[in-house]
Every structure is written in structure tokens, then in C-alpha cells.
Amino acid sequence: MKIFFNSSLWSKGKGCHGSPQKANLQFEYSGTKRCIPIIYRFPRGIVFDVITILDESKLRTFYEKYEHIQNKMTSVQKRSMRQENPFQNISLQEIRINGKKTDDGFSSSSMMCIPWLKEDVNVLEDIKKEYAEYLKGRDCFAIERFCVRYPKSDSIFQKLLRFIWPEHVNRLHMTTEPHRHYDPLDITIHMSTRQKEEHNISFAHPLTGMEHTLYLQQLTPFELPLGNKETNTGFQIYQASYEISPPLSKGETLMFDNRLDMVGDVSIGHKEQKQASAIGIIGGADGPTSIIVGKKENHVHCGKHGFPLSFCYSIPSDHRLDTVSFVIQGIERTEPKGKEYGFIL
């Protein structure tokens, strides 16, 4: 199988193909064993595949559970479904080659080979032949391809040497993103846009069972523009501050649903215009960093109840409302740091 210098599992690529270096690097991530069989070396960097052998019975159970309801699921159910998936992609934060951090980052793609889903047959057949020694006849597996550029050359001579003979990989170091675990709540809070007093609601922590009280206060309206100035349209969204008593544990945050998926006819003045919009608010736990940029401060602001103050955003709407909705999807728990894997070849 010819591998080119890109992370795509589907495109043929251009230019010279990689020089293979046997690796057989084995490690465990998210409860499943992984293997990097070969590292492909290029003048500009390396490409490697991560092979994961999958449990076919677990996958079949997962697909049977969700295949008939996936188009009717709520955002909370979709988040839970993604977490239940027997295969979890490796989320890498950093890759080092021969002890040096890559300067231009890396790219990746992934796909699964599932016997009862006949997709990308030609691509998968090539992969099966290339990694037959590692797959050992198993038909149910996942593959992730990473394309990583070399760190900057120490000298012009080293840069020229890489084009003549791709650099040998002696050490490979990978650091993953901190693992995030989601515990569903699915709580909807309705508030009048004229409401001045705070709104409080109690909920039980899905993991510990401890009862917490959420205090919502200070509704502030925002408008997200849509289209150009002539259409004069936008989405209405409200920000609220909140406190939690007692506070959640360190590394835990409330996850709010801030998305609006809308497809259909939107009336703009006297004109009818087809619109298809999908708006995502970045940072749903503590407010959208895409709308408001806060200053970094060393101290934590507390609300009138004496607990740390955070911010959340309502479900956007394409028209003005008398009542807005805040949807708490669940609690996200983030580990202090990611895992580190170091290999010597």
C-alpha cells in the first residue's frame, strides 16, 4: 500500500510515497488496545496509522440500540450516544518526534471497518492487506491516520539531508487531551425575559447523588446577526449568570445546550428566502467565547450567595420571545491532564 504525505484515508495523494519503518508500537487508550504498525517517513514529516481491534458484539449491540432512533434523538441523547460508542477516537494534544515538538501541528482522519456495513470496500481491502500481520484475520477494526510535520531543521544541511534520506524515527512521544466524561441531566429552565428576580432549581448530581441548587440571575439579551445588513435578521439569545450551592467538584462544569439547527423558509420583510443555519456557541459550559472575550484574572468572582459565578446562554431563537429556555444537558468531568505515551524505536 502506497502512503502519501497527508492524513486522508480516501485520497490517493500526490508526490512521492513514504519510506516504511517498522514500529509495532502498542498501547491502551480509552479501554481498548491500539497499535502503530508502521511509520511512513517523508522529507517533510511522518504518517502513521493507529489500528484498533473492535469487539464486534459490542458494536452490533450499539448499532441496534441507536440505528432506528438516531434521527429523532435530543442533543442530550446524542451526547450520551457518542460516549457509549465502543470506539473512541484518540484525541491528541501534542506529538514529539525524536524529542522535538512539531511546529505546524498535525492532521488526522479515521474510519471503521464493520462487516455488516459495506462502505469504502476498496480502501479497506488495501488496509487489510497492508496490516494483515497485525489484524490476524479480524474484520472488525478502526484505523486513524495521523500526518505530522517534522520540527524545524537545526541546519540547512539537515534540511537537505531529509530530502535525500527521510529522517529515522528513534523516539515518538504522544500526549492526549484530558479525558472528558459526560453525565446527563437533561433539565430545561424557562424564564420570562422580564424577570428581575433570580430563579433557582435543585438537581441531584447523576454520579454522587448529592443535591445542588442552581441560582440563575441577571438576564441580558444579545443578538447574533444572520445574513447581510439588508435582511436585518438575527437570532436572539440571553445570557444569565449563575451560582451552584454547594459548588461542583474541581474539574466539573455544567453543560448548556446553546445550539439552534434550523432548516426551512424564513420570512424576511416581504420576501421569502431559503435559509439553512446551524449555530454553535463555543464554550457552552461557561458561556460562548465566540461572543464575549473576558479578561484573565487570578481571582474568582462570587455571586450574592457567596459561590463562584459563571455564565450560561439560552437556546437561540429567530424571533423575540417573552420566555427563554436554558437547557442543562449534563455535567462534564475533565481529568486534570492527558495521558502520555513514549516509545523508543
Confidence of residue 268 (pLDDT cuts 50, 70, 90): very low
Mean pLDDT of 108-124: 79
Give the Cα separation of 91 and 108 in Å (integer).
10
pLDDT of residue 162: 67
Task: Give me the residue spans of the domains in the chain.
Answer: 19-177, 181-334
pLDDT of residue 287: 42
Residue 294 has pLDDT above 80, yes or no: no
Cis geometry, peptide bond prior to residue 206 (ω within 30 degrees of 0):
no
pLDDT of residue 79: 85
Distances (CA, A) of 19 to 150, 163, 232: 15, 12, 56
Q: In the beta sheet, which residues pair with residue 257?
A: 327
- Do the Cβ atoms of 325 and 190 come closer than 8 Å? yes
pLDDT of residue 89: 92
Residue 260 has pLDDT above 70, yes or no: no
pLDDT of residue 115: 81
Confidence of residue 232 (pLDDT cuts 50, 70, 90): low
- Do the Cβ atoms of 224 and 309 come closer than 8 Å? no
Residue 238 CB burial class (10 angstroms; 0-12, 13-18, ≥19): buried
Which residue type, as a one-letter code, is found at position 308? P
Give the Cα separation of 188 and 170 in Å (integer).
53
Q: ∠ at Cα 56 (82, 66), nearest 5°?
A: 35
pLDDT of residue 120: 59
Q: What phi and psi values does residue 328 have, to the nearest 5 degrees?
A: -90, 110
The predicted model scores a pTM of 0.75
| Cα 253 to the center of its chain, rounded Å | 16
For 157-197, the pLDDT digits (tens) are 666 666 767 788 999 999 999 988 999 998 999 999 888 88
Q: Which residues contact 274 (CB under 8 A, 6 or more apart)?
A: 265, 266
Mean pLDDT of 217-227: 80
How many helices, marked H, and strands, marked E, lie in the chain? 5, 18
